[in-house]
Structure 1
Amino acid sequence: MENKKIGIIVGSIRKDAYTKKIADFLMSNTPSGYQLEKIEIADLPIYNQDYDDANEPENYAEFRNKVKGMDGIIFITPEHNRSVPAALKNALDVGSRPYGKSVWDNKPAMVISSSISGISGFGANHHLRQSLAFLNMPTLQQPEIYLANVQDYFNEKGELVKEDSAKFLKDALQSYIDFAEKLLK
């Protein structure tokens, strides 16, 4: 999968989100020959089927084209009420419409969830996986990536300092690349 582009979609739109820091860590540890790029979701208007016929927001097309240009997608999400944040669900909806024109179809995916509690975003991780199955996104099954007490992973500069988690995330990224390579041949 040399010179492939992998999109990162961060579920939290909070300015100092831990999920953004996880994305930054992955981007700074990308294996040679690959490019990881964040795909912004914060400014997408809430999906409305009426947009399929006329007056589609301009950034819908920009978002869809960005996703189309990726060879795979990494989702990094916190948990909101045992599910994914509204912005992430909206991005899934925008990318899957109009019906029959989903930009997600057959793109290899990886899910990382995190939480400031010990539950580690378990509910969000599995809820997102249900949506990805419907969107026909083959998703890395192992390792499962749940990051508990994520507020303890970073220093005041936003750098990941928890060494065992850093190694785990690097290994998980390599597992994802190996998984995606098999699907993209």
Structure 2
Amino acid sequence: MAKDGGPIRVVGISGSLRAGSYNAAVLKAATALAPEGMTIEIAEIGDLPLYNDDVRVAGYPPQVQRFRDQLAAADAILFVTPEYNYSIPGVLKNAIDWASRPPSQPFDNKPVAIMGASGGILGTARAQYHLRQMLIFLNAFPLNKPEVMIGAAQTKFDEAGKLTDEATAGFIRQLLEALRDWRNRLA
């Protein structure tokens, strides 16, 4: 439970903007698989401008401030990332760069879980490891286990983007339960 006794509020971020994104579909599935006492709100990062410190110094653009406020109000964060060139997508890095600037960067002391889906066999393993490195610098608390790296994603969703693979649904449930427990342990 959150500090106020209410549900644990998780902000979910998909690192893919593509309409048919497997990672967006995984995040949507997670909202339905969340354990009792947890809500997942999906953050919009597609409207964030490219990071420019001159703009930040002049004042956060409204869409950036909205994103930062969303993260600050969350009890935990859930990243769902594809893997581009052995790392996270630029759009996700851009969102992290905007959110992580002073004052009061909202990743500090925040429990975080990571998962991702790809058509390949490794299921975003390298991207997730790069994201973990960033989270260390941001003083976030990434959940170590379970790791959810969904390979061959094209075989796990129907044409409408609905998760159809029960084993994958089970892995997502386990991750969300572990994030709930991790958050409660850190609270």
Q: How would you bin the TM-score normalised by the shorter chain?
A: over 0.9
Runs of 4+ in 1 over 3 A off after TM superposition: none
Which residues of structure 2 form unaligned runs of 5+? none
1:23-38 pair list within 5 angstroms: 23-38=27-42
**Deviations 1:11-58 (CA, angstroms, capped at 9, x unpaired):** 001111001111111101222222111011111001111123215322
Contact conserved, 2:135 with 2:141, CA < 8 A, in 1?
yes
Q: Which moved more, 1:22-31 or 1:122-131?
A: 22-31
TM-score by length of 1: 0.95
Q: Distance in 2 between matches of 1:55 and 1:139?
A: 29
Q: Which residue of 1 aligns with 2:51?
A: 47
Question: Is residue 19 of structure 1 aligned with residue 23 of structure 2?
Answer: yes
Q: Which residue of 48, 67, 75 maps to 1:71?
A: 75
Q: Which residue of 2 aligns with 1:110?
A: 113
What is the CA distance between 1:81 and its match in structure 2? Answer: 0.4
Identity among equivalent positions (%) equals 36
Q: Distance in 1 between matches of 2:186 and 2:122?
A: 31
Q: Distance in 2 between matches of 1:166 and 1:58?
A: 35
What is the CA distance between 1:158 and its match in structure 2? Answer: 1.6
TM-score by length of 2: 0.94
Q: Distance in 2 between matches of 1:34 and 1:119?
A: 29
Q: Which moved more, 1:1-10 or 1:79-88?
A: 1-10
Which residues of structure 1 form unaligned runs of 5+? none
Q: Which residue of 2 aligns with 1:4?
A: 8
Q: Distance in 2 between matches of 1:61 and 1:156?
A: 35
Count of residues in correspondence between the two structures: 183
What is the CA distance between 1:113 and its match in structure 2? Answer: 2.0
Q: Distance in 2 between matches of 1:76 and 1:68?
A: 18
How big is the alpha-carbon RMSD for the aligned residues of Structure 1 and Structure 2?
1.2
1:179–1:55 CA distance, 2 compared to 1 (3 A): closer
